[in-house]
Chains A and B, each alone.
Chain A
């Protein structure tokens, strides 16, 4: 589409050039544009909902620099990863790409020489406008040089409780705030199912979406008291501990009660959301982007729903979900011939205008979460951001303190069945001893990590299991850079 535009632009320009001989100035302007070589910037990402926003930035840039066109390709995350993997060795890498669908950690890609730094093309003043917690070795910075930055905030999780207001009211709960505890959730699910005449169920989820179910269990276990997949006090995997077991048993209880929409077991989140939006289920765990998707695909359903924080095991708890620092979203390729143009476009992404535009897409929270208050967004999105501000904290990152940790992660083999598969198995009834299965998973992960540590050590990297221990981590506190000292 973009190339066509440029061709049209070219025709227009040549037309103006002909006319310009007669009228002078405008023709001269077009001539100057033509005198420069036409430059095409290849831009790959996976942000389908952001497509109009990004392309408006590209269009604005092309207007000021008529010799530049941006060819924007939106992939699904796995296709993006696979495409990058194929493009790099064949010298076909795009100028700018989003880090998604690639399983290797960013430092491993940096070691392969995939990136061009952003730093030489941006001013100190511009850098000072980035939040301080963005500058993270291995995530955005290598050897003190800035390579990338996130456009989204780390402050989000994927287990907000989105629910149908009318069903909630009929179940006897507050139609704005819904159930607060696990017991209440279970009870609400039962009542919604009872009122549903066999067609509506209390809870609906895309249990077939394995990766998401793994993430969701990690978050839910933190609501139940875990510090994360890793216990920061000991550096051990926490999958076999009570919070994980309890969280999974909580999810399984709905399946046992018959209040989980039965088809959930094998469908993915996108499919489950569509069924939820057609009232097959009352409650649905999802991230803040849920309302953004509803806006574009199910707009007439938007005002029938509300959102609330995930239920807690007991009443009156103050739960926290710890998320590691964000990795840069867009990276400039080392194969790019025009990093200065890529950098110029990327700089726009922290402007207030862009951040407000980002909030209005209602996807992940924008890097500047205050932009939400200045944006025209659905009330549930504002509420979601408030919940995240209360609940989500910056977790420590082992690879920030010791970059060699990423060498271990790059050598760690997958353990299967993985966490999401275990969640699915427990809900479908294939996994009966939840505690033993989770403990076995933790043991296998520990073994995989030990093997990877040994392999990294053999290659001369100084790393050990102690690198996963953070003595000074405190619950409810952002683990910002000063804590690493």
Chain B
């Protein structure tokens, strides 16, 4: 069983010339891709002047670990990290929960009002949302969600129309033999979803999780405006702004804080990706 997806590739994947060239090209491309990230890490170990004096050079003349010390204190890391983890994890869980549920029924069933609901969801994705923060805060205030961690979680979890559509597209592509078998075994609606369909959707869950994780982790405005009276509930991305002033930017401190706050995302991504390549196929065979 060989995967022969790309036109022109020979069917036997071994260390032939073509393969070596592919890997080499990928290596070069990836170098270009990771360079600015590496630059950021190296900037976090330089002085601000050296960052600009050395241009694109990556190696610091002297390793300035004190930038990390400053980043830790100034960005309020120890406390903001806990808030960020709570908000992000809860948001990811809630998003996977609600988008998979609604994606499942929207993708797999016909029911009264379906077109209306789909139309409504889709119509809103095109309006640039950056400034709807005013009514968002207003309604959150009315619901008593300001100055809580729950407020940002709910707001960051809401919408995700694209992820609903992604689940819908996925569930629609699942062959119906699978659930027919389960129904014959006596599974009810909830059981079919929970035992058969959801486990199949692992690649989509991984995708939605990673992208939601990224978005929740980095969101600045929502955690900021929901914690006006409780600065102790803020997140790392808000803390990052402690390095940016009207007339000055503490470049090295910001780079250090950014590096610290990005490490968890890199780890999550690296370990989540096993899911991207483990697909439906295996499940279907069982």
Q: Which residues on A are within 8 Å of B, measured CB to CB?
A: 1, 3-4, 42, 46, 48-49, 71, 73-77, 79, 82-83, 85-87, 89-94, 100, 269-270, 273-275, 277-280, 287, 289, 292-293, 296-298, 300-301, 363
Whether B49 lies near A76 (C-beta < 8 A) is no
**Are B250's CB and A83's CB within 8 A?**
no
Closest to A158 in B: B247
A461–B51 CA distance with the chains assembled, in angstroms: 55
Known: A86-B133, A92-B146. A3 touches B232 (CB 8 A): yes
Q: Determine if A90 and B52 form an interchain contact, defined as CB atoms under 8 angstroms apart.
A: no
Q: Is the pair A297, B251 in contact by a Cβ cutoff of 8 Å?
A: yes
CA distance A327 to B137 in the complex (A): 29
Q: What does the 1/0 interface line of B225-246 toward A look like (CB < 8 Å)?
A: 1001101100000000110111
Chain A residues with CB under 8 A of B249: 270, 297
Near A by CB (< 8 A), chain B positions 161-206 give: none
15 example contacts (A-B, Cβ-Cβ < 8 A) are as follows A48-B245, A48-B248, A73-B231, A74-B245, A79-B224, A86-B134, A91-B141, A92-B141, A92-B147, A100-B246, A274-B251, A280-B52, A289-B247, A297-B251, A363-B247
> In the complex, what distance in Å separates the CA atom of A477 from the CA atom of B63?
54
Indicate whether A46 sits within 8 Å of B246 (C-beta atoms), given known contacts A90-B141, A278-B52: yes
Q: Is B148 an interface residue (CB 8 A)?
A: no
B83 within 8 A of A: no
The answer on a CB contact under 8 Å between A278 and B53 is yes
Residues of B contacting A48 in the complex (Cβ-Cβ under 8 angstroms): 242, 244-246, 248
Task: Please name the residue on chain B nearest to A85 by beta carbon.
Answer: B134
Q: Which residues of A contact B225 (CB under 8 A)?
A: 82-83, 86-87
Interface size on B, as a range, is 20 to 34
Task: State in angstroms the CA–CA spacing of A381 and B128 once bound together.
Answer: 45
CB neighbors of A among B38-70 (8 A): 48-49, 51-53
Interface residues of B, Cβ cutoff 8 Å to A = 48-49, 51-53, 76, 79, 133-134, 137-138, 141, 146-147, 224-225, 228-229, 231-232, 241-242, 244-251
Distance (Å) between the CB of B58 and the closest chain A CB? 16
CA distance A73 to B239 in the complex (A): 10
Please report the C-alpha to C-alpha distance between residue A4 and residue B133 in the assembled complex, in whole angstroms. 30
Other than A86-B133, A274-B52, give 11 A-B pairs with Cβ distance below 8 A: A4-B79, A46-B245, A71-B231, A74-B242, A79-B241, A83-B224, A87-B228, A90-B141, A92-B229, A277-B49, A301-B49
Complex Cα spacing A97 to B123, Å: 39
Docked-complex contact B48 and A297, CB < 8 angstroms: yes
How far apart sit A324 and B249, CA to CA, in the bound complex (Å)?
Answer: 28
Question: Of A92, A269, A277, which is within 8 A of B52 by CB?
Answer: A277
Task: Enumerate chain A residues within 8 angstroms of B137, measured Cβ to Cβ.
Answer: 86, 90
What 8 A-B pairs are tightest by C-beta distance, nearest first? A48-B245, A92-B228, A278-B53, A90-B141, A293-B248, A278-B52, A297-B48, A274-B52
**Residue on A nearest B136 in the bound complex, by CB:** A86
Instruction: Select from chain B the residue with minimum beta-carbon distance to A89.
Output: B138
How close is B119's CB to chain A, nearest CB, in angstroms? 31
Closest chain A CB from B13 CB (angstroms) = 46
Asked if B247 and A76 sit within 8 Å, CB to CB, the answer is no
Smallest beta-carbon distance A52→chain B, Å: 11
Residue from B48, B231, B241, B251 in contact with A76 in the complex, judged by beta carbons closer than 8 Å: B241
Cβ-closest chain A residue relative to B141? A90
Pick from A49, A90, A92, A279: contact of B245, CB under 8 Å = A49
A273 vs B246: C-alpha distance in the bound complex, in angstroms? 13
What CA separation (Å) do A165 and B250 show in the bound complex? Answer: 25
Name which residue of chain B comes closest to A276, CB basis: B52
Closest chain B CB from A164 CB (angstroms): 13
Using Cβ atoms and an 8 Å threshold, which residues of chain A touch B76? 1
- Contacts of A289 on B, CB cut-off 8 Å? 247
Q: A76: which B residues are within 8 A, CB to CB?
A: 241, 244-246
| Cα distance A100–B245 in the bound complex, in angstroms | 12
Instruction: Report the Cα distance A279→B49, complex, angstroms.
Output: 10
Query: Do B250 and A297 touch (CB < 8 A)?
Result: yes
Asked if residues A270 and B232 are in contact (CB atoms below 8 Å), the reply is no
CA distance A274 to B76 in the complex (A): 26
Docked Cα-Cα span, A184 to B50, in Å, equals 32
State whether B247 touches A274 (Cβ < 8 A): no
CA distance A113 to B126 in the complex (A): 37
Identity of the chain B residue whose Cβ is nearest the Cβ of A75 in the assembled complex = B241
CB distance from A10 to the nearest CB of B (A): 14
Contacts of A71 in B (CB 8 A): 231
**A274 & B48 in contact (Cβ 8 Å cutoff):** yes
Q: Report chain A residues within 8 Å CB of B248.
A: 48-49, 270, 273, 293, 296-297
Residues of B within 8 A of A297 (CB): 48-49, 248-251
CA distance A168 to B138 in the complex (A): 57
Residue of A49, A82, A277 touching B247 (CB-CB under 8 A): A49
A280 to B, closest residue via Cβ: B52
User: Which chain A residues border B224 with CB–CB below 8 Å?
Assistant: 79, 83
Cα distance A298–B134 when bound, in Å? 39
Partner of B49, one of A3, A298, A363: A298
Min Cβ gap B122→A in Å is 28
Q: Find the A residue at minimum CB distance from B142.
A: A90
Q: Closest B-chain residue to A80, C-beta based?
A: B246
Query: Shortest Cβ distance from B68 into chain A, in angstroms?
Result: 17
Chain A residue at minimal CB-CB distance from B48: A297
Chain A, Cβ-Cβ closest to B79: A4
Closest to B225 in A: A86
- Contact, CB under 8 Å: B229 / A42: yes
Contacting pair B49 A270 (CB below 8 A): no
For A84, give the chain B residue with the smallest CB separation: B228
Chain A residues within an 8 Å CB radius of B242: 48, 74
Contact A275 B231, beta carbon cutoff 8 Å: no
Give the CA-CA distance A271 to B251 in the complex, in Å: 10
User: Which of chain B's residues have a CB closer than 8 A to the CB of A85?
Assistant: 134
* Chain B residues whose CB sits within 8 angstroms of the CB of A275 once the complex forms: 52
CB proximity of A102 to chain B, nearest CB, Å: 14
Q: What are the residues of chain A within 8 A of B133 when measuring CB–CB? A: 86
Distance of A284 Cα from B247 Cα, bound (Å): 14
Q: How far is the CA of A275 from the CA of B53 in the complex (A)?
A: 8
A278 and B241 within 8 A (CB): no
Measured CB to CB, the nearest residue on chain B to A77 is: B246
Contacting residues, chain B, for A300 (C-beta < 8 A): 49
Residues of chain B within 8 A (CB-CB) of A279 are 53
Distance of A125 Cα from B141 Cα, bound (Å): 43
Minimum distance in angstroms from B39 CB to a CB of chain A: 15
Contacts of A75 in B (CB 8 A): 241
Q: Tell which of B76, B224, B225, B245 has the most Cβ of chain A within 10 Å.
A: B245
Q: Is the CB of A293 within 8 A of B49?
A: no
| Beta-carbon nearest neighbor of B137 in chain A | A86
Distance from B179 Cβ to chain A, minimum over Cβ atoms (Å): 47
How far, in Å, is B218 (CB) from chain A's closest CB?
16
CA distance A76 to B250 in the complex (A): 13
